[in-house]
Amino acid sequence: MKRTIVMFVIGALVLATLALWVFKGHFAWNIQEMVMAGIVLIVVGFAVYLGLSRLRSHGRGEPGEDELSKTVMMKASSLAFYISIYLWLFIMYFSGKTTLEAHSLIGAGIAGMAVVFVLCWLGVKLFWMKNA
């Protein structure tokens, strides 16, 4: 339950930061920044989905996490780590061919890792649990 609350608090903080960036900061309303904001929303949405799922489980008297959900998370994490290595390799290769600044590339890499993790989690959950 504590972890679920922490998840909601972090999600709220991220959303508040995003709102500050968009409405009070220097949000440029170009494709690049809108994609970044969209990725943040997807990742926060994923965290909220997981949190709500755990709250529903608590409400039904089930554990918030059990061996299946932990296995899905572990498999998704290891797969995402493996794919992220290639993502960073691609970014290193790409960095020599673009005029983007280093902080933009690092931001894109971190956002990319988050998206890779969400996709891996969905893939493991929906298609790869056979013989887990």
d(CA 106, CA 91): 9
Window 31-60: contact mask with other proteins (x via CB under 8 A): --------------------------x--x
d(CA 6, CA 1): 9
Secondary element (H or E) of residue 22 = none
Question: How many residues sit close enough to other proteins to count as binding (CB under 8 A)?
Answer: 14
Determine, following the binding rule CB under 8 A, whether residue 1 of this chain makes contact with other proteins. no
What is the closest distance, in whole angstroms, from the C-beta atom of residue 118 to other proteins in the complex?
Answer: 19
State the Rg of the chain over Cα.
Answer: 17
Binder to other proteins among 34, 35, 52, 132 (CB under 8 A)?
132
